[in-house]
Structure 1
Amino acid sequence: MEKFEKDAREMLEAIGGKENIAAVTHCATRMRFVLNDDSKADIKRLEAIPAVKGTFTNAGQFQAIIGNDVPIFYNDFTAISGIEGVSKEAAKSAAQKNQNWLQRVLSMLAEIFTPIIPAIIVGGLILGFRNILEGVQMEWLGQKVIDGVKQYTDSGQPIYNTIVDVSQFWSGVNSFLWLPGEAIFHYLPVGIVWSVTRKMGTSQILGIVLGICLVSPNQLLNAYSVASTSAADIAADWTWDFGYFAVQKIGYQAQVIPALLAGLSLAYLERFWRKHIPEVISMIFVPFLSLIPALILAHTVLGPIGWTIGKGISAVVLAGLTGPVKWLFGAIFGALYAPLVITGLHHMTNAIDTQLIADAGGTGLWPMIALSNIAQGSAVLAFYIMNRHDEREAQISLPAAISAYLGVTEPALFGINLKYVYPFVAGMIGSGLAGLFCTSFNITANAIGIGGLPGILSIQAKYMGFFAINMLIAIAVPFALTFMFRKIGFLTKAEDDAKKGDQSQVQAVVEAKKDAEAPAGTVVAIQSPLLGHAKNLSQAPDPVFAQGVMGQGLVIEPVEGELVAPVDGVVSAIFPTKHAIGLISQEGVELLMHIGMDTVNLDGKGFTAHVKQGDKVSVGDALISFDIEMIKAAGYSVDTPVIVTNQNDFQTDMTRQLPCDIKRGETIFTASKLS
């Protein structure tokens, strides 16, 4: 058996069967389905599967969190289901039928930025490291001296050296690291235009060329120098003069929206010309008629418009971060970032962060994002500590907490916090408070980096101390609130209901065993649960049953596929595959009825359960329906042992001469309580 074969079979049934799946694929941690009918997915049953750490729906896709083993799970699932997986792009395309226009726009934005996020993170780490080398003044390195004069601030405080001031080696490292740092951020438009063409399925090399044409260091005035260059100098030195009109040679270093608009124009032009130019000459004309018009549009219309839009967005956000009610902006953004992750709207912050870095030299959003990661991680860590003795919850919550502390919150959000609500709210409150203090002290990051605890590396040196205090707020507040909410029962209904359902079933079995204290000599009549032909247990096809290893009783070959209760009692166990069921009678007789031999291999196909563990039943109540013909066609015997498993407490005695035909409800043997 493959590693996840059983779990994959259970998932296929719980998700509504093969016919309910329009497309299936997977990403780094999740199975992604496009379902024909989302309502057919049994969420509770899915989340009870050992391999599944949580479920959610986003961007038109139903997603089940598996973890790092998702490629193995995916292979087992496709093998069992017989469904050929599709690419992530194809699944996303299929999912668009479940999305409105806003969701499609946000989905496109997310898919454009996702491929370049690794580079942005690396750039953030590089800038964070350079930030420490050249920005953090350390008293133990001595006071800074220039030309023999000790340096002081305007307020008279000594200025101390940085690492690069006293170490030529680290000064060289710092200078060297600017090579990839500049490539990532100054030339970001190249990556954006490339990603747009990749997403749109057009020529990626043309996207790279167009991106370079937006940031050419030799041909264009660097975007960072525009503000300090006079209009006269721009007109004289940085203009293409066509006689009838002139176009400014302005670069778009680190600009996001101009690059997005230019990339989209290139992609749509290429798609248009592909449809209208014969294939025999398309190689010549399609690239030329796509690139040159897109380049003209970029430098005459789209670039200036995009620059204006980008400046406007960053100005509005910057006003919120630095304005008179910045504390309120921080509180709201900090609290609402986690809900944004659920909707997918959080991908917009990548573009805004990048624009803020270009326009203002840093971003105040990223610190709050990192703090939100920490807050949700702290909430789920508290949940883990409270539920560490629950094996399943512990297996999900501890890795989710670690993941959130490292900046990836989906396992925490969808596996625990959203599922049980109160940890999610505790995390939102904690990140809201952290966001409030974040904006109150103008904490700014140099760049986007890794979220969570490592996010401190991206913070500008002068704000690192304040950010460390905010990290403590984001850790302590959600952690304490999660415990408090659980203790006072605030928003705990979802968890209580889930545990109540599980515990009530187990409790019913426990109480049934405790109450079943029949005196010695008590005789319990066991009635036939089936219509069919009764035989001695020794004639069971399986030697484990035939030799009485499991208990004493008989075997029935049914002629109708209806199994009913042979006693009054409680359902003590029902197998997930529904091929076997256990009962405890009111007198304490423990019965096992196993429909067929090796029918566990059918994985529940052909079986329908009418009861669940913990249910009370009376003689004649329907327990399980099964398809006799299907079982036989699959090559399995339908002989059904009916046995008393606690044979040390009860002695069985046949009341009929075997073999014989038997009807449902007829007494087939008795069980007598031993001393």
Structure 2
Amino acid sequence: MTEDQNAALGRAIFDNIGGPENVEKLIHCMTRVRLTIRDDSKIDFDKLRAIPGVLGVVEDETLQVVVGPGKVNKVAQSMVDMVGVKLGEEFPQTKGTTSLVDETAQNKAAAKAKYNRPSRFKNVLKSISNIFVPMIPAFVGAGMIAGIASILQNMMTAGQLDAGQWTQIIAVLNIIKNGIFSYLAIYTGINAATEFGATPAVGGVVGAVTLLTGMDPELPLKNLFDGQALLSGQGGIIGVIFAVWLLSLLEKRLHRWIPDALDIIVVPTISLLIIGLMTIFVIMPIAGVISTQLVGAINFVLHVGGGFSGFVLGSLFLPMVMFGLHQILTPIHLEMIEKTGSTQLLPILAMAGAGQVGAALALWVKLRHNHSVVEKVKGALPVGILGIGEPLIYGVTLPMGRPFITACLGGGIGGAIIGALGHVGAIAIGPSGIALIPLIANGKWLIYVFGLLGGYAGGFVLTYFFGIPKEELALAQAAKTAQQEKIEQSTPASPVIDSDQNFIFAPFNGEALPLSALSDDVFATGMMGQGVAFEPADGQLMSPVTGVVETIFPTRHAIGLKADSGAEILLHVGMDTVKLNGAGFTPHVIEGQRVQVGTLLMTVDLDAIKAAGYPTTTPMIILNTSDYQVVNVIKNGQIITGEAVLELVK
């Protein structure tokens, strides 16, 4: 039964008992919703019993609506949620014509709207995650290939591999790699359109516009702000996402304005023309202006030198990549190589990737119980170590927000180490990470490795202590709790005596009785299933089967077991003992624990139950009775624990 069906069942119960206004309070036990009614005359018992999902109705001090184990807690919770109270709390009485459920729903909606608005920042991060997560498998596969190609290329450039033998192999690997990385803007456009509700194919075209395909290099498009030539990819991935967001807004309006007969022709044409022009002549040029201004800032930082320069450049490189601003660094690299034989800028910038690796390791350790996060990190980490940062950036750290910032700062620490030690250069431009080691000039690769280790450590420490979002910690803690509740022991299952029949054993010393001897009609009539009852002689409740403890009711008066044979068993100690709220019951097992026949499940204070005025007679019910052809009671009268009392024939 889904949550919606549980809520529907709860609402149907309310409808036939006079509404929530006729209820003082609501609790539930192992099998039934228990309602304290204000006016019994408002209950329509015939319609209540006829509700699909209601197994029976018991009229007692409280109205008991039997819906069965497994469902009862969900149905009861949905009913109190409708009213806005907790289980066991008194229901408010309303005046006027507005129903309590409707009024509560209105109040809750207003409260959520006022106090629980998601921040714009969180919405942006969620959208970024939705855009890039589907691409992670491609990032990982292509990234591994790119990393291998980079190492081979760098070793060939350094003269450690024969060019004639390896050139074509490296070219083939790069062709495969370029299938995603060269056209990332297109994939981003498609996924962004899906996320924002625009046409995916049109979003892909908007992304492709930033590649400036078909532009004559001899006659480049000019930046309207400073007259400089536009570069392919200028504006970066963030520019593509922003452009596609504008596309979604425009398309939605055009769909409302354009007649259906013309929609398929007019909407994509106008959308592409307007957004394409804005992308080329507004979004990309703005990034170009920022790039131009940064050139002077970077040159200033480089002239200052030392650890300060290393920290600033290592920290800011990844944000520059996101906005497509790293293109301005290419001529600086080339000029350095031409004048000095190496670029001392590239090893520092490579530390940004090291910070991402350290941050990812911290997320893995801190959120290790959240398998979703761990799987993403495991896939992206090897690629990041090889110098391909997209999977870590877009799939792991950026969607979470804070880890991206601490990763950038970790990269700054690595950059500061290299900047402080100084004079570490690369003889050619290539990927970062360990793939850059063969290109380090003058045998100073060990300093570069120290920088990498510093970036790893900085990203790890900063993220571990300051970069884990609270909501991610909460999810990991919830996952840890769920795992702890499913304790698996290595006890082997007892063999089934016969393939067609199973035996259930006595859980108490005492007297075995037919179910009809019980005072509760739900159990006595077999409404919950067939079984047997016990009048216990002592308070030691033992397991009647070998299997798993599936449920221990919060008030501890009932336990559900799943036998290895498939039998689902309910042990309900006493009648109406839910009202004791756990007094007199001491469980010795937990949910998820494996047990054998004779394992002590619970110690029960029989005298305390009797003193409170409740019977101690305990039914043992086979909840999945319908799975068996016959449930035979094979022993009545005096019984000891471990004696067979039921035979189940499939």
What TM-score, normalized by structure 1, do the two folds share? 0.44
